[in-house]
Every structure is written in structure tokens, then in C-alpha cells.
Amino acid sequence: MFHRLRSNRASLAALAALLVGILGLVVQWIADPSKFGDAEQSFGITFPPGIIFILVAAVLMVLTSRWWWHPVFAAIACLWIVGAGSLADQLQPNLTSHNAGTVAGNVVMAGGLIVALVAGVVSAVGTLRSRRTRGARAEAPRAEASRS
């Protein structure tokens, strides 16, 4: 199941970048736990729910690693947290916070997730191209055999 994931460096980079995104959230959580007070209603503790979202994306990426589209989960995590967070004006206040831990954690999280997006796209495109190339090479001998 993990063979394609191990052989695809871009997929591994996307997974590692997702973990960097989690690290950024942990830094923010340590710097200002009260920032995640809204999650206490859902989880019973003050906890950044983005950690669960990113972990689920990483697990889905690993479980679907046999298909070329498996890195889409890294891209979705980035687009949801960084893209939607920016559009909802939730990312920018953390970048201008007076708490250095919040700013550092936010930069690490956003940077990791953006790298996950880029690596995920590179992985998906590369895997799809290699599949098409392998398919074309497999078809060539059959086409020549049928002509003779």
C-alpha cells in the first residue's frame, strides 16, 4: 500500500509539510491556548481543531496512495486552512499579533501547508504523467505487432 508513497518524493514532501503545519498549530496552541477556546465546546478541552483536520488529510493521503490523485488531500487541507482562513480574515490577525509565539506558529503552519499544496500538485501531476507514459510504452509493442 505504501510503495507508491515511498517512491514518490513529492508525496513524501507533502506529508512532511502537513506535519510542519501541525507543528505550527502546536506552537500557536502553546503560545496562546485561549485562542482555541471555541473548540472546548466540541472537544471538552481547549484544542486546535486544525490539527485533527490536517491529520485526517494525512491519513487519507496514505490510505489512497495507490491512486495518482492521493495528494489532493494535502491540497484540500491547505486551501481550507490557509485559503479559507485568509478569506474569512482569521489568518491575518494572527500574523500581526503581539504574541511572538502566535506569529511564529502561524508562519510555520501557513508555510508548511503551502509547501504541502505545491508538493501535492507536483506529486499528482508527476504520477499521472508517469502512468500515461508507462501506458503509452506498453501500447507501442502491441501496435507494432498488429501491423506486421
Among 14-23, 37-46, 60-69, 115-124, the range scoring the smallest mean pLDDT is 37-46
Alpha carbons 68 and 4: distance in angstroms, whole number: 9
pLDDT bucket at 146, cuts 50 / 70 / 90: low
User: What is the share, in percent, of the chain residues with pLDDT greater than 90?
Assistant: 60
pLDDT digits (tens, 9 = 90+) for 59-93: 999 999 888 889 999 999 999 999 999 999 989 99
Mean pLDDT value of segment 12-27: 96
| pLDDT value at residue 128 | 85
List, in order, residues 6 or more apart from 6 with CB less than 8 Å away. Answer: 12
pLDDT digits (tens, 9 = 90+) for 119-141: 999 999 988 888 777 655 555 55
Instruction: State the cell numbers at 28.
Output: 500557536
CA 106: distance to chain centroid?
16
Instruction: Report whether pLDDT(36) > 70.
Output: yes
pLDDT bucket at 148, cuts 50 / 70 / 90: low
Instruction: State the cell numbers at 52.
Output: 485533527
Contact between 10 and 126 (Cβ < 8 Å): yes
